[in-house]
């Protein structure tokens, strides 16, 4: 009898622990959402929302960045915001449906996996505007804008840094071989844009530099990324730029083991990949937050660019180079100046960056 009650007690205790544990995780998700807009915030009746892909919030990538953009719109423009996370692909349509029915517009669908869904749902809600992050439509529905990025422009700046760094000696990992490397995810036009910009930038500041490009064939295989990184370093590369999603994480390891510098992609990877500071020279950031914010702003001002595919480049704040962080003091001023010069020239149109190598 006694042992039976102790079992019951144990189960109860376990349940209590469960209950005590859950609030901690659950309330985290809420953070920020409940913020009251400050008093001086202008008011508008625009209600903007986003639907995450299955990666959800906390992915340190497109979903989080889009949410940043929405939060900025809430603070600066006074729009009401809502974010719905998707736990499975079937949720995409029902989440968008839900928000459209509740009068949200614009609604952002984050990630190319939602392209089909947006194309299908948009005509059902002609009075609602939709923004597709990293989505391309052909033809573009009149109430949809595709938000894309000029990755080649940001990569050009990364190329300028790499091209000059490889013949510089501000870090002991730099050798005199005048070789830099590129690791691509899949051999598709999108990634070719990164490669083309990178090569163009490097050759512009260092015409003799040798750029070796290798492709992993996917965006997930970290072991492959490491292997490619080691192979590049073997061939003399001392700065490697990876546009390859999670594959790049393996390349970072290769750089750390064999001593080379790394240029990150999409987010400021110094912040998103802990412990990578010793090799992370800079990152080429896709500013999804800016693209989302600008689109909400356009909606507030009544100029929502429906029916268009938009490309956010350096001029629009859609791509940019991250700070040098740990290398801030080491990087010579002439590299920093060259980056600023290239940036100005691209924005003014003096330089046109190629989209294919």
Residues that bind other proteins (CB under 8 A): 15, 18-20, 22-23, 26-27, 29-30, 33, 54, 82, 84-91, 93-95, 98-99, 102, 112-113, 115-116, 136, 186, 188-190, 217-218
Mind spelling out the 3-state secondary structure of the chain? CHHHHHHHHHHHHHHHHHHHHHHHHHHHHHCCCCCCCCCCCCCCCCEEEEECCCCCCCCCCHHHHHHHHHHHHHHHHCCEEEEECCCCCCHHHHHHHHHHHCCCECEEEECHHHHHHHHHHHHHCCCCCEEEECCCCCCCCCCEEEEEECHHHHHHHHHHHHHHHCCCCCCCCCCCCCEEEEEECCCCHHHHHHHHHHHHHHHHHCCCCEEEEEECCCCCCHHHHHHHHHHHHHCCEEEEEEECCCHHHHHHHHHHHHCCEEEEEECCHHHHCCCCCCCEEEEEEECHHHHHHHHHHHHHCCCCCCCEEEEECCCCCCEEECCCHHHCCCCCHHHHHHHHHHHHHHHHCCCCCCCCC
Nearer to other proteins (CB atom), residue 33 or residue 80? 33
Nearer to other proteins (CB atom), residue 95 or residue 283? 95
Residue 265: CB atoms within 10 A of its CB come to 24
Minimal distance in Å, beta carbon 245 to other proteins?
Answer: 12
Nearer to other proteins (CB atom), residue 13 or residue 344? 13
CA distances 59 to 3, 67, 81, 115, 185, Å, are: 46, 11, 19, 20, 19
Nearer to other proteins (CB atom), residue 167 or residue 190? 190
Minimal distance in Å, beta carbon 28 to other proteins?
Answer: 9
Minimal distance in Å, beta carbon 140 to other proteins?
Answer: 15
Nearer to other proteins (CB atom), residue 67 or residue 270? 67
Minimal distance in Å, beta carbon 14 to other proteins?
Answer: 10
Nearer to other proteins (CB atom), residue 26 or residue 38? 26
Minimal distance in Å, beta carbon 115 to other proteins?
Answer: 7
Minimal distance in Å, beta carbon 337 to other proteins?
Answer: 35
Nearer to other proteins (CB atom), residue 108 or residue 324? 108
Minimal distance in Å, beta carbon 98 to other proteins?
Answer: 5
Minimal distance in Å, beta carbon 19 to other proteins?
Answer: 5
Nearer to other proteins (CB atom), residue 48 or residue 233? 48
């Amino acid at each position: 009898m006694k042992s039976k009650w102790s079992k019951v007690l144990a189960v109860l205790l376990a349940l209590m622990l469960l209950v005590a544990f859950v609030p901690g995780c659950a309330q985290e998700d809420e953070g920020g959402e409940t913020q009251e807009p400050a008093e001086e915030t202008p008011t508008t009746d625009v209600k903007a929302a986003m639907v995450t892909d299955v990666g959800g919030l906390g992915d340190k990538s497109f979903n989080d960045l889009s949410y940043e953009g929405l939060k900025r719109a809430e603070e600066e423009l006074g729009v009401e915001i809502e974010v719905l996370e998707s736990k499975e692909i079937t949720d995409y349509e029902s989440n968008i449906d839900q928000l459209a029915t509740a009068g949200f517009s614009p609604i952002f669908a984050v990630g190319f996996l939602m392209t089909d869904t947006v194309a299908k749902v948009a005509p059902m809600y002609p009075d609602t505007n939709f923004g597709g992050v990293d989505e391309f439509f052909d033809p573009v529905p009149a109430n949809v804008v595709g938000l894309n990025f000029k990755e080649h422009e940001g990569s050009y700046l990364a190329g300028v840094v790499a091209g000059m760094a490889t013949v510089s000696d501000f870090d002991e990992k730099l050798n005199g071989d005048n070789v830099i490397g590129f690791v691509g995810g899949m051999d598709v036009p999108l990634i070719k844009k990164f490669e083309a910009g990178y090569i163009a930038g490097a050759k512009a500041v260092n015409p003799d530099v040798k750029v070796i490009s290798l492709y992993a064939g996917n965006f997930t295989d970290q072991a492959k990324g490491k292997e490619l990184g080691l192979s590049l370093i073997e061939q003399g590369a001392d700065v490697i730029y990876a546009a390859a999603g999670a594959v790049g994480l393996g390349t970072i390891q290769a750089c750390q083991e064999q001593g080379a510098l790394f240029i990150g992609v999409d987010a400021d990877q110094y912040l998103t990949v802990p412990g990578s500071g010793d090799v992370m020279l800079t990152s080429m950031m896709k500013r999804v937050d800016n693209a989302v914010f600008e689109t909400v702003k356009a909606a507030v001002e009544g100029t929502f660019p429906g029916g268009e595919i938009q490309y956010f480049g350096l001029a629009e704040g859609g791509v940019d180079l991250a700070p040098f962080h740990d290398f801030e003091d080491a990087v010579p001023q002439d590299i920093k100046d060259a980056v600023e010069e290239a940036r100005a020239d691209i924005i003014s149109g003096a330089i046109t960056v190629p989209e294919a190598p």
